[in-house]
């Protein structure tokens, strides 16, 4: 009984319209059956081909409907009271999140970073130093001219260098590295109720606003496969390889795998199997031999090609293509605001000086 959790088991129709199953779990069970001169018989009473949840698979194994489930499930999450209905560990993986890559700063934001505060403070200190020593500088006009030229050259070179560096390789916003930072961002992790209940209780209660619950798993999978950047998604390190490979065909990645937001790290996964199944020990021995021979990793790495063969993935570029854009008035908005602000301050100071001079003139000073 496959659970149709892609890319572990993939259901697709070939050119003749026949339903076929792909995936590394299916390869593993086919090799195990071939070793024992047996054949696999697919048992799935669900006609809608939807992904089966953890409880449905365990109930099918407990009732004797299946010998081995083509479904790999975590052994240290969820209902620990039913761990005896899972085989010995077949794989290890982490359960973390894939988050949208932080956007690059806009041009208007970059221009405000060209002159950082330390540079402005240094210029202010140099001006104060110059004002204090103004009397002595008058004795050396040539040295004063050279000093101003050197300072103007340094400031201009620093400004142009930083500006070109920011334009050619613009920085991004600070990455989200905790649930607290995630709550302050517009992104929310979308999850289904069964997965959400597997998260540690303190995290669920303290950071509940960082999650968005979907009614059906198909909604979550559809948004994740479409690379919808409105949400972040819980994902295992094995499944992340598929999305990572798909993004290599784009100019820049849309999602990143966040190890800072891992709910479970390196947890064992096992196959669904009846408690007293005679296949438990032979299957365990065989999976160890497969991993020792490298076949397990080989089949896992073929997951992307399986998804392409099944038509679940196309080679269209993910995200928007890079396009060079010219500067606009909107990009220079902050520059104009600073310029107008400084101009207004200058006008106010000039008006104050005129007012003081007029008062002194009227009073006869």
72-83 tens-digit pLDDT:
888 876 566 777
Residues 245 and 271 in one domain: no
Which residue, 171, 194, 222, sits at the end of a domain? 171
Q: What is the pLDDT of residue 46?
A: 47
Residue 239 lies in a domain: yes
Mean of the per-residue pLDDT values of the chain: 82
Number of domains in the chain: 3
Q: Nearest to residue 20, comparing CAs of 320, 306, 237, 319?
A: 306
Residues 181 and 223 in one domain: yes
Residue 120 pLDDT > 90: no
- Dist CA 233 CA 222 (whole Å): 11
Q: What is the pLDDT of residue 257?
A: 94
- Supply the DSSP symbol for 215: S
Q: Which domain holds residue 114?
A: 107-171
Residue 88 lies in a domain: yes
Contacts of 33 (CB under 8 A, 6+ apart): 39, 40
Residues 208 and 244 in one domain: yes
Residue 334 lies in a domain: no
Lowest pLDDT segment from 64-78, 122-136, 296-310: 122-136
- Dist CA 222 CA 282 (whole Å): 37
Q: What is the pLDDT of residue 44?
A: 67
Which residue, 121, 144, 171, sits at the end of a domain? 171
Task: Identify the bridge partners of residue 234 per DSSP, sorted by sequence position.
Answer: 97
Per-residue confidence band for 322, with pLDDT thresholds at 50, 70 and 90: low
Which residue, 142, 171, 200, sits at the end of a domain? 171
The pTM (predicted TM-score) of the whole model is 0.73
Tokens, residue 48: 């809608």
Task: Identify the bridge partners of residue 99 per DSSP, sorted by sequence position.
Answer: 256
Residue 241 lies in a domain: yes
Residue 145 lies in a domain: yes
Q: Residue 277 in 3-state DSSP?
A: coil
Lowest pLDDT segment from 59-73, 200-214, 268-282, 337-351: 59-73
Residue 291 lies in a domain: yes
Per-residue confidence band for 195, with pLDDT thresholds at 50, 70 and 90: confident
Residue 25 lies in a domain: yes
Angle between helices 24-35 and 280-293 (to 10 degrees): 110
Q: What is the pLDDT of residue 289?
A: 92
Contacts of 341 (CB under 8 A, 6+ apart): none
Residues 63 and 112 in one domain: no
């Amino acid at each position: 009984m496959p659970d149709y959790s892609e890319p572990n088991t993939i259901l697709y129709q070939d050119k003749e319209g026949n339903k076929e199953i792909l995936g590394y779990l299916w390869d593993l069970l086919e090799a195990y059956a071939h070793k024992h001169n047996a054949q696999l018989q697919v048992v799935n009473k669900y006609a809608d081909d939807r992904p089966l949840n953890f409880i449905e698979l365990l109930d099918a194994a407990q009732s004797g409907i299946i010998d081995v489930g083509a479904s790999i499930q975590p052994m240290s999450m969820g209902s620990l009271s039913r761990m005896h209905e899972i085989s010995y560990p077949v794989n290890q993986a982490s359960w973390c999140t894939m988050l949208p890559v932080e956007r690059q700063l806009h041009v208007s934001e970059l221009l405000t970073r060209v002159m950082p505060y330390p540079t402005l403070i240094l210029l202010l200190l140099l001006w104060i130093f110059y004002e204090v020593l103004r009397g002595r500088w008058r004795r050396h006009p040539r040295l004063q001219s050279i000093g101003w030229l050197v300072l103007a050259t340094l400031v201009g070179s620093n400004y142009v260098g930083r500006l070109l560096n920011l334009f050619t390789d613009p920085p991004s916003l600070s990455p989200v590295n905790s649930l607290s930072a995630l709550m302050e961002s517009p992104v929310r992790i979308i999850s289904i109720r069964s997965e959400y209940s597997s998260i540690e209780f303190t995290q669920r209660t303290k950071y509940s606003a960082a999650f968005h619950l979907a009614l059906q798993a198909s909604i979550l999978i559809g948004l994740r496969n479409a690379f919808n950047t409105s949400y972040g998604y819980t994902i295992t390190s094995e499944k992340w390889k598929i999305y990572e490979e798909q993004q290599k065909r784009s100019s820049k990645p849309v999602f990143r795998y966040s190890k800072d937001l891992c709910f479970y790290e390196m947890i064992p996964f096992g196959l669904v199997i009846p408690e007293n199944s005679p296949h438990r020990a032979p299957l365990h021995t065989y999976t160890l031999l497969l991993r020792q021979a490298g076949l397990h990793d080989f089949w896992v790495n073929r997951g992307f090609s399986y998804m392409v063969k099944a038509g679940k993935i196309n080679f269209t570029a993910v995200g928007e293509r890079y396009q060079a854009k010219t500067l606009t008035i909107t990009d220079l908005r902050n520059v104009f605001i600073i310029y107008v602000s400084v101009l207004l301050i200058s006008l106010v100071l000039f008006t104050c000086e005129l007012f003081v001079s007029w008062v002194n003139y009227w009073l006869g000073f």
